[in-house]
Amino acid sequence: MSGPMTMYLYIHDAILREVDDMEARARELNRDDPDEIAAFKDQYDLFHNLVKVHEKSEEDFLFPALNERIAFVAETYLYDHNDSDEHIFADIAAAFDALAHASGNGDRKAAARNLWREKAVLNEMMRLHISKENELMMPHFETEFDLSEQAEMAGAMAGSVDPQTMGQFVAWMYGGQTAQDREGMIRFLQMILPPEAFGGMTGMLKGLGDAEWAEMEKRIPDLADG
Ligand SMILES: [Fe+2]
Ligand SMILES: [Fe+2]
């Protein structure tokens, strides 16, 4: 990946990986284990918060800028965001709640099946929405906006996220990435963040796993010098 909107595409990759993972997790879920259900709910809550942050940055910056140049592009994507809030995210919240409160094996079985079904719906909806953003919308964006405008957009979107949430976002993405994508993301952050913020970010990522970080130091020798 390259170009000013690299991070945007990494975020999309991370969302797609997570919805796929959650569908598989819902299928395998031990419906009799409240701790496992609670851990799954935590995974989902973090995902949901981060998706909302991502969508807000699209709605506040990317969509209005696109709309000024090409009418009736951005609003179709906004429509997806709003529709999924009402239908999919609300239904998943209800499905988790039903599973947490189900009593008796039959009820728990039905509630767990329903949660799995909702996760499959989320997976497919996100796959389509993000494919459209990557394959239909981004080429328009790249044609309409020159490189400095793209960089300005990437900066505005990233700058709208508070540092703590940004740290959560990067940690979440790093956790599921291949070594190659981790390297790409770190190199990109190194380019856009002030040195102090980059140092804070790498310190946090280093704490997520020694073997993973050793691999990053091998790939990006400056990291070991810092
Ligand atoms: Fe979107
Ligand atoms: Fe998106």
In 58-194, alpha helices (H): 63-69, 74-84, 90-101, 105-132, 138-144, 147-159, 163-176, 179-192
Task: Give residue 58 CA to ligand 1 midpoint distance, Å.
Answer: 6
Q: 65 near 145, Cβ under 8 Å? A: yes
Task: Give residue 75 CA to ligand 2 midpoint distance, Å.
Answer: 13
Cβ contacts of 85 within 8 Å, gap of 6 or more: none
Side chain identity at residue 92, one-letter code: I
Q: What is the pLDDT of residues 111-164, one digit of tens each?
A: 999 999 999 999 999 999 999 999 999 999 999 999 999 999 999 999 999 999
For residue 222, pLDDT beyond 70: yes
Nearest to 185 by CA among 208, 169, 200, 207: 169
The pLDDT confidence band at residue 73, using thresholds 50, 70 and 90, is confident
Task: Give residue 12 CA to ligand 2 midpoint distance, Å.
Answer: 6
pLDDT of amino acid 172:
97
Domain 1-161 is found in CATH 1.20.120: yes
Q: Which two tokens stand for residue 167?
A: 């740290």
pLDDT of amino acid 199:
94
Q: Which two tokens stand for residue 169?
A: 């976002």
What mean pLDDT is predicted for residues 17-28? 98
pLDDT of amino acid 107:
96
What mean pLDDT is predicted for residues 99-121? 96
Task: Give residue 81 CA to ligand 2 midpoint distance, Å.
Answer: 9
What rounded mean pLDDT belongs to the chain? 95
pLDDT of amino acid 192:
86
Ligand 2 (single-atom ion) residues, CB below 5 Å: 133
- Cα 40 vs. chain centroid, distance in angstroms? 16
pLDDT of amino acid 1:
60
pLDDT of amino acid 146:
96
Q: Which two tokens stand for residue 151?
A: 């960089």
For residue 76, pLDDT beyond 90: yes
pLDDT of amino acid 148:
96
Task: Give residue 154 CA to ligand 1 midpoint distance, Å.
Answer: 15
Q: 51 near 118, Cβ under 8 Å? A: no
Nearest to 31 by CA among 118, 123, 103, 92: 103
% residues pLDDT > 90 (the chain): 93
The pLDDT confidence band at residue 3, using thresholds 50, 70 and 90, is confident
The pTM (predicted TM-score) of the whole model is 0.95
Ligand with the closest atom to the CA of 129: 1
Task: Give residue 225 CA to ligand 2 midpoint distance, Å.
Answer: 35
- Cα 32 vs. chain centroid, distance in angstroms? 29
* CA–CA dist 50, 128 (Å, integer): 19
- Angle of helix 6-28 relative to helix 147-159, nearest 10 degrees, comes to 50
Task: Give residue 107 CA to ligand 2 midpoint distance, Å.
Answer: 36
The pLDDT confidence band at residue 84, using thresholds 50, 70 and 90, is very high
| CA torsion through residues 52, 159, 130, 25, sign | negative
* CA–CA dist 201, 23 (Å, integer): 30
pLDDT of amino acid 226:
57
Task: Give residue 154 CA to ligand 2 midpoint distance, Å.
Answer: 13
Which residues make up the CATH 1.20.120 domain(s) of the chain?
1-161
* CA–CA dist 110, 178 (Å, integer): 36
Cβ contacts of 37 within 8 Å, gap of 6 or more: 29, 31, 96, 99, 100
Could you say which DSSP state residue 71 is in? T
